[in-house]
Structure 1
């Protein structure tokens, strides 16, 4: 009779071990990745220090931070220009479509506002699609340039303003 009991115990132990292995395997699946997009502005566009000789012109900062001027606009050497930077986080290697208003205004509260043409970005112009990295912990960086139009006789000072970018996942 002891052999039968021992045999039954071994059989029960076998089924318990198999049950726990199955239980562990069924719950070992990874959690579903996030489906929401997260965008953070980490750096505003900065044209550096410049001045107008009186005739107006433009100053451009491309998405790599290179600065050029036209007309009577003179960039001060040693001042640093920077593109706007956004950090985009979205899982599963999806595509993002970027959209933004092409023109916005900047003001200093004293004189006439300046016009800022937004773009292009390092991923292309408005309406461009780009993939994000497939790793949910990796951040895709988007750099954005722009051209500032400075009319002749613009008031001196620090100008500020905002522009919005829309990031749509597909």
Structure 2
């Protein structure tokens, strides 16, 4: 009997201690964190252009301007606009976001040929700080590099940019 009494008293003391701790514990509810997400709003386009007898580059900047260098010729053809890629980031306000640019990639066409595609600059530059709204648009440019008409025949080329957004 004495052993049972001591156990009962010990349980009462422990339960009383827990009740005391719980009565002084305050809970604070916090809104769930905004998940980090990236949505492609617009893919990059380099528009229409002609290549002369040697190579060159076509650059589309984040602000939407296009610059041709080397032996490249502007073609103002209706329906072939040029513009940067646009991504919309959503994250907790104040989150720092860094951009990791992928290596140069090849763009190809169905009848053969390839050209080099390099990820260009971004606007805003990085690190990006997510504003109080929790959303921000990032504009990315790119650079196409062509060697010569024999290696890079005329036509539609397709490929992909590799861009990684890292939140801190």
TM exceeding 0.5: yes
What is the CA deviation profile of residues 15-47 of structure 1, one whole-angstrom value per residue up to 9, with x for unaligned ones?
Answer: xxxxxxxxxxx9xx663332x211011111101
- The equivalent residue for 2:122 is 121
Paired with 1:151 and 1:140, the residues of 2 have a C-alpha distance of 37
- The equivalent residue for 1:32 is 32
- The equivalent residue for 2:6 is none
* Root-mean-square deviation over aligned CA pairs: 2.1
TM-score, structure 2 as length reference: 0.75
Q: CA deviation at 1:150?
A: 1.4
Q: CA deviation at 1:157?
A: 0.8
**Contact 2:63/2:84 (CA < 8 Å) preserved in 1?**
yes
- The equivalent residue for 2:157 is 159
Alignment of 1:7-156 (within 5 A): 31-34=31-34, 36-77=35-76, 79-124=80-125, 128-136=126-134, 139-153=135-149, 154-156=152-154
Runs of at least 5 residues in structure 2 that lack an aligned partner in the other structure: 1-25
What is the CA deviation profile of residues 82-107 of structure 1, one whole-angstrom value per residue up to 9, with x for unaligned ones?
Answer: 00111100013211111021411100
**Contact 1:43/1:86 (CA < 8 Å) preserved in 2?**
yes
Tell me which protein shows more strand as a share of its residues: 2
**Contact 1:64/1:83 (CA < 8 Å) preserved in 2?**
yes
| Paired residue total | 139
**Contact 1:57/1:72 (CA < 8 Å) preserved in 2?**
yes
TM-score, structure 1 as length reference: 0.74
